[in-house]
Amino acid sequence: MKEFFKNLKGVFDALTKFQFMRFCFTGSLGVITDAVIYHVFLWLLNVNAGKDRTTVDTILLFILPVFGYLAAVIQNYLINHFWTFGKETENHRASLKLFGKFFAVSLFSLIPRYAFYTFLLIFNNITPDLANLGGIAAGMFTNFFGSKFVVFRFKESRKAIEDK
């Protein structure tokens, strides 16, 4: 229980130091990057998203979002590594290992995002856009705490907290 309150205090400290706001800003940039890349690919490949689309168009509509998502995750990892969690990472280089953890947390965060989206959409009769925003918020919190306590938390960081 003592560890729980130490972690809770750490979360409070992080939020009051604007780390959470930096994380939200970085995530917003990721949303923009994701959307821009998706739409550029739609335009470059001349994908027809209308009712008269071909099978190839349909396949592309399911594949293309992956490229925007991957670009956004890479961008968000780098910005979070060097800016949002800069104090924690000052003695650590950006690496594939840390990126792998970040990517895993990002994928895991899709679960509460989709669950909350579905809950709002089905059980609360909310418009899809508002339900999507609620889902994004749920995923954002999971993503922040996963990034803070799994990805960008290092042994020396824990030691410093324990010494306080």
Which of the two residues, 103 and 155, has the higher pLDDT score?
103
Q: One-letter amino acid identity for 140? A: M
Could you tell me which residue, 107 or 17, shows the higher pLDDT? 107
Boundaries of domain holding 10 = 2-163
Q: Residue 95's CB: how many other CB atoms inside 10 A?
A: 10
Interval 110-118 mean pLDDT: 91
pLDDT for residue 77 is more than 60: yes
What pLDDT shows up at residue 133?
A: 86
Q: How many domains does the chain have?
A: 1
Q: Residue 156 carries which side chain, given as an amino acid letter? A: E
Q: What value does the mean pLDDT take over residues 36-52?
A: 90
* pLDDT for res 73: 96
**pLDDT score of 132:** 84
Q: How far is 90 from 87, CA to CA, in rounded Å?
A: 5
**Buried b vs exposed e over 137-164: b needs ≥16 C-beta within 10 Å?**
ebbbebbbbbbbeebbeeeebeeeeeee
CA distance 107 to 85: 20
The answer on pLDDT for 44 being more than 80 is yes
* Residue range 100-112: mean pLDDT, rounded: 95
Entry field: residues in the chain? 164
* Radius of gyration in angstroms for the set of CA atoms belonging to the chain, rounded to a whole number: 19
Model confidence pLDDT, tens digit, residues 53-76: 899 988 988 898 899 999 999 999
112 band by pLDDT with thresholds 50, 70 and 90? very high
pLDDT at residue 127, rounded to an integer: 81
Tell whether the model's pLDDT for residue 155 goes beyond 80.
no
Structure tokens at 79: 């910005």
Identify each DSSP E strand in 23-151 by its residue range. none
